[in-house]
């Protein structure tokens, strides 16, 4: 059933302002509006393989009604696809099938396909028009917004890339119906992050995930929630497009999370689980360094997270070593995004290892 409301959030950058359309079954209308009812003579589609299997018929039928030719590259699911090999395979399709600088590249999938496809669009012919169609909650509220594109290198994640803004983002929540529970949780962590750093009303909005199965969430409430998150990211990006300052607040919980991911391995803990634990630790460290976080607003959501990693597998010493190796370090101190109070993030250098140890305990207490 089609939801009545759709929301549009403009994202302003130095180069352009583009729209993010959020709604149910909005893919076709948003493309029609972008091209003012005309038909493209060609479109390139870069699509995640699971999304192709689950929603391919719909996506191909919509794109075929908007273009005379559609050339498709399917991207295997998983972080490994953010590679030079897959970048080159996409380039082969584009360049051999007659890419031109006015032909859009439509990228349909989660953050992996989005980052890869965005980088392909940024680099083919020095830039082809990019249309993001995020299909995970995380990609809708986070990775499709703000223009960061890229692939991984053997020495680290996201080390090859470009800032490249899309022409349009279409967050069609119909895709989310097939999203597995663990992927909802990955998106939820980023949503709770926005609540903590900018808009605490989002904590209440997130109660939709507590009331029912996540993929049965009320469509209207979900659209409003995604809209709020995109507006926050758009506002932060507008003020700090190239990540030279303010954009760091989007890393709330992430310094702890990256250490956990490095220590546990990415298959044992998901990014969303690590970010949730990281936010609990960051809240504790905020309190230990003088903040006044009156109530623990993350508490109601703890029941949505389960972990494969056990506390006896973790050591504070090793985790701290990972944080020390991280680039967010000056001298002996580690730089964290903490909260002065809810909605008021602050960058703090913390040197006292006992405080950091105490903060880790809060995260460990969530584990078996």
Residues that bind ligand NAD (CB under 6 A): 48, 50-51, 54, 77, 79, 82, 109-113, 115, 135-136, 138-139, 142-143, 146, 148, 158, 175-176, 178-179, 183, 186
Quote the least distance from Cβ 51 to ligand NAD, whole Å: 5
Distance in Å, CB of 352 to ligand NAD, minimum: 30
Quote the DSSP letter at residue 140: I
| Shortest spacing between CB 237 and ligand NAD, in angstroms | 9
Q: Rounded to the nearest whole angstrom, what is the least distance from the CB of residue 233 to ligand NAD in the complex?
A: 9
C-alpha radius of gyration, the chain, whole number: 20
Cα dihedral 169, 190, 87, 159, rounded to 10, equals 130
Nearer to ligand NAD, 122 or 283 (CB): 122
60-63: long-range contacts at Cβ-Cβ below 8 A with a sequence spacing of 24 or more? 62/27, 62/28, 62/31, 63/31, 63/106
Alpha carbon distance 194, 196 (integer Å)? 5
**Residue 15: enclosing H or E segment and its boundaries?**
none
Strand-pair partners of 18: 11
Distance in Å, CB of 38 to ligand NAD, minimum: 28
**In this complex, which beta carbon is closest to ligand NAD, that of residue 65 or of residue 266?**
266
**Nearest approach, Cβ of residue 250 and ligand NAD (Å):** 8
H or E, element range at 45: strand 40-48
Residue nearer to ligand NAD on the CB measure, 18 or 40: 18
Q: Output phi, psi for 146, to 5 deg.
A: 110, -10
Least distance (Å) between residue 315 CB and ligand NAD: 26
- Count of other CB atoms within 10 angstroms of residue 102: 11
Taking CB atoms, the residue at the shortest distance from ligand NAD is 111
CA 346 from chain centre, in angstroms, equals 22
Give 155's contacts (C-beta < 8 A, 6+ positions apart).
none
**Cβ closest to ligand NAD, residue 4 vs residue 80:** 80
Write out the DSSP string of 152-221. EETTEEEEEEEE---SEEEEEGGGGGG--HHHHHHHHHHHHHHHHHT-THHHHHTTHHHHS-GGG--HHH
Nearer to ligand NAD, 81 or 291 (CB): 81
Q: How far is the CB of 119 from ligand NAD (least distance, A)?
A: 10
Q: How far is the CB of 111 from ligand NAD (least distance, A)?
A: 2
Under DSSP, is residue 31 helix (H, G, I), strand (E, B) or coil? helix
> 254-264 and 316-325 are packed helices; what angle lies between their axes, rounded to 10 degrees?
110
Other residues' Cβ atoms within 10 Å of the Cβ of residue 239: 10
Shortest distance (Å) from residue 204 CB to ligand NAD: 24
The rounded distance, in Å, linking the Cα atoms of 305 and 152 is 28
């Amino acid at each position: 059933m089609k939801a009545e409301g759709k929301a549009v959030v403009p994202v302003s950058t130095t180069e352009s302002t583009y729209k993010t359309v959020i709604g149910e079954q909005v893919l076709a209308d948003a493309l029609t509006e972008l091209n003012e009812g005309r038909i493209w003579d060609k479109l390139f589609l870069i699509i995640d393989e699971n999304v192709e299997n689950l929603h391919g018929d719909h996506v191909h039928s919509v794109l075929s009604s908007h273009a005379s030719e559609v050339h498709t590259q399917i991207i295997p699911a998983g972080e490994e696809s953010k590679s030079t090999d897959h970048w080159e395979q996409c380039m082969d399709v584009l360049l051999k099938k007659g890419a031109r600088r006015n032909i859009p590249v439509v990228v349909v999938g989660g953050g992996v396909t989005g980052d890869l496809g965005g980088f392909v669009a940024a680099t083919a012919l020095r830039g082809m028009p990019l249309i993001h169609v995020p299909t995970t909650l995380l990609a809708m509220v986070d990775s499709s917004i703000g223009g960061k594109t890229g692939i991984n290198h053997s020495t680290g994640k996201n080390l090859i890339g470009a800032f490249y803004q899309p022409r349009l983002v279409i967050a069609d929540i119909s895709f989310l119906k097939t999203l597995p529970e663990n992927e909802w949780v990955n998106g939820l962590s980023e949503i709770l992050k926005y609540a903590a750093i900018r808009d605490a009303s989002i904590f209440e909005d997130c109660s939709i995930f507590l009331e029912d199965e996540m993929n049965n969430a009320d469509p209207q409430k979900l659209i409003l929630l995604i809209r709020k998150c995109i507006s926050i990211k758009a506002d932060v990006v507008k003020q700090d497009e190239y990540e030279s300052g303010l954009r760091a607040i989007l890393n709330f919980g992430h310094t702890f999370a990256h250490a956990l991911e490095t220590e546990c391995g990415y298959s044992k803990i998901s990014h969303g689980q690590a970010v949730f634990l990281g936010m609990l630790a960051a809240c504790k460290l905020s309190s230990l360094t003088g903040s006044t976080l009156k109530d623990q607003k993350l508490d109601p959501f703890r029941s949505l997270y389960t972990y494969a990693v056990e506390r006896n597998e973790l050591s504070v010493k090793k985790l701290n070593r990972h944080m020390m190796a991280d680039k967010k370090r000056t001298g002996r101190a580690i730089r964290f995004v903490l909260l002065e109070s809810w909605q008021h993030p602050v960058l703090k250098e913390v040197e006292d290892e006992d405080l950091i140890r105490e903060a880790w305990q809060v995260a460990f207490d969530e584990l078996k």
